[in-house]
Structure 1
Amino acid sequence: MTMKKIAILQCSAASDSATEALDIALALASFDYPVQLILSGEAVKSLLNQPSKRYAMLELLDAEPVVISSEELTDTSALPANIDTVIVSPEQLKRHLSQFDEVLQFS
């Protein structure tokens, strides 16, 4: 049986939303589910303003790199160096999401 590829799409900068999205991504990755955390729009601020070491745990659990899609993010040097990230445009994000079997959205 193949496991479904799951995307965790966080769209809000609210700390509750960020914590829940990251917790679910970490839980799924710990059970070897193919999972990717995606930060879009305002959610990017949660990574920039309060970079948690827990984001780096995704790489330790062999989760895909954190995808960042934001038109406002122009300075990639502001991203935490210890977190594996991929930057995509909003148009690329739509195509990227189509690769997943399920998308869980936190907004």
Structure 2
Amino acid sequence: MSKRTAILQTAAANTDAATEALDLALAMASMDQSVQLILASEAVNCISDNPSKRYAMLELLEAEPILVFTDEPLSNPHQLDIEIISSQQLAPQLNSYNEVLQFS
């Protein structure tokens, strides 16, 4: 069984923490490690506003879809590979990973 890692990003798009979270997700995916980026809180705007093209690279590297933690309707005009999870689904989802790294 392979180790599954979640990267929980809560930082807004224009912060160093957001850049570091995406960099780590891309690096892990490029090494064929099982990694999933989870966007919560301020980070949700990374997808709905003007997302970096680097988020789309996760799909090219065959990473798991980006999970977006929100109870609000979300626009995905850039057709990124995302799944939306609600507040009730977040804790069980996080428990399914071997490791959770948080970038705030």
Q: Structure 2 CA distance, aligned partners of 1:63 and 1:83? A: 12
> Percent sequence identity over matched residues?
53
SS across alignment from 1:42: helix
Moved more, 45-54 or 32-41: 45-54
For 1:49-64, what aligned pairs fall within 5 Å after superposition? 49-64=49-64
RMSD of aligned alpha carbons: 1.4
Q: Deviations over 1:55-105 (max 9, x none)?
A: 11101111000000023x31x3x2143310000001101111111000000
- Aligned 8 A contact 1:51 1:80 in 2: no
Aligned position for 1:95: 92
Q: Structure 2 CA distance, aligned partners of 1:102 and 1:26? A: 16
For 1:12-91, what aligned pairs fall within 5 Å after superposition? 12-15=11-14, 16-71=16-71, 73-74=72-73, 76=74, 78-91=75-88
Q: CA deviation at 1:14?
A: 4.8
Q: 1:103 to 1:57 in 2, by over 3 A?
A: same
TM-score of the superposed pair, with normalisation by structure 1: 0.88
The alignment covers a number of residue pairs equal to 103
SS across alignment from 2:36: strand
- Aligned 8 A contact 1:40 1:70 in 2: yes
Q: Structure 1 CA distance, aligned partners of 2:19 and 2:43? A: 11
SS across alignment from 1:81: coil
Structure 2 unaligned spans of 5+: none
